[in-house]
Structure 1
Amino acid sequence: MNLEKWGWVFMRASGVVLIVLIFGHLFINLMVGEGIHALDFAFIAGKFATPFWQWWDVLMLWLAFIHGGNGMRTIVNDYVTTEKVRKALVWAIGLAAGLLIILGTLVVFTFDPCLGVTESSTLWDTCVAAGVVGN
């Protein structure tokens, strides 16, 4: 199998997995508990405190960027006729997707809800209980 065939197979497989990940994400964020009214910084901080949801969101992030980048690569290959321009665009798409994957992964795994928290914050008690802030 050549690269184009693997790209085609990846698009179908990642599309199915992305549907499951996205609908799971939407269900948990919007339907469970108080729904959209409970969706705030504390809710996201609580989600990012568990490895399961960190990996869920990172997998969704990785697949979305790779899926989108591969789709854009396919469009460039189909419609850009100049070889140099096509190569430059494919490289730019790959670099942009790679950089955004790295940055997004760092945000998810290094997220600290207690960074800069003050006593007036709704997270103060949680951060004190965790021993991160306070006396």
Structure 2
Amino acid sequence: MTADTLAAPRTPYAPRRSGPNLEKWGWIYMRVSGVLLVVLIFGHLFVNLMLGEGIHGLDFAFVVGKFASPFWQWWDVLMLWLALIHGANGMRTVTNDYITHPNARRVLVWAIWLAAGFLILLGTLVVFTFDPCLGVTSDSSLWDMCQA
């Protein structure tokens, strides 16, 4: 092919790598997680703001009651995981689109995934190890509840 002719529209630019197409699976994940996040977030908002006393009922006791239930623990952890991976994948896409230097792009993508992984780990630990009585002293309003 000479310099003054164009390649056919479907001609591959470079040989395709073997293995899974990670960009395709990232694209699919964004769509599926987006739909699940809409359901999870609106369910979370409905239970927290519409049922019971509404926004006036949100206090430490409400959170303690929710985190006592494995159903709500898993609901919140699933929402946390999906949201953080969804956001990190979106930031990776933006980084790949706008950062042209390969080494800078690689470092930033690694930093995004490390930050997301750290936040997922920390958030999961908080949800599953939440103890309202940790550090409560005798002059606290929670003292009576924690003595039971």
Asked if Structure 1 and Structure 2 have the same fold, meaning a TM-score greater than 0.5 normalized by the shorter chain, the answer is yes
- The answer for the alignment partner of 1:109 in structure 2 is 128
The CA distance in 2 between the partners of 1:89 and 1:117, in whole Å, is 41
Whether 1:97 aligns to 2:116 is yes
Whether 1:18 aligns to 2:44 is no
CA contact (8 A) 1:69 1:97 kept: yes
Whether 1:42 aligns to 2:48 is no
The CA distance in 2 between the partners of 1:82 and 1:121, in whole Å, is 55
Summarize the Cα distance change of 1:122–1:35 in structure 2 as closer, same or farther, 3 Å threshold.
farther
Which of these residues, 73, 80, 94, is aligned with residue 75 of structure 1? 94
Bigger CA radius of gyration: 2
Q: TM-score, normalised by structure 2?
A: 0.82
Secondary structure, counterpart of 1:116 in structure 2: coil
The CA distance in 1 between the partners of 2:64 and 2:75, in whole Å, is 14
> How big is the shift at 1:119?
4.8
Task: Map Cα deviations across residues 26-78 of structure 1 (whole Å, 9 max, x no partner).
Answer: 01111110000010011001100110000000000000000000000000011
Secondary structure, counterpart of 1:30 in structure 2: helix
Alignment RMSD (CA, Å) = 1.3
> How big is the shift at 1:120?
5.3
- The answer for the alignment partner of 2:17 in structure 1 is none
**How many residues matched?**
129
Structure 1 counterpart of 2:133, one-letter code: C
Which of these residues, 20, 23, 27, is aligned with residue 8 of structure 1? 27
Q: TM-score, normalised by structure 1?
A: 0.90
Structure 2 counterpart of 1:63, one-letter code: L
Report which structure shows greater RCO (CA 8 Å, sep ≥6). 1
> How big is the shift at 1:115?
1.4
Runs of at least 4 residues off by over 6 Å:
none
The CA distance in 2 between the partners of 1:44 and 1:118, in whole Å, is 20
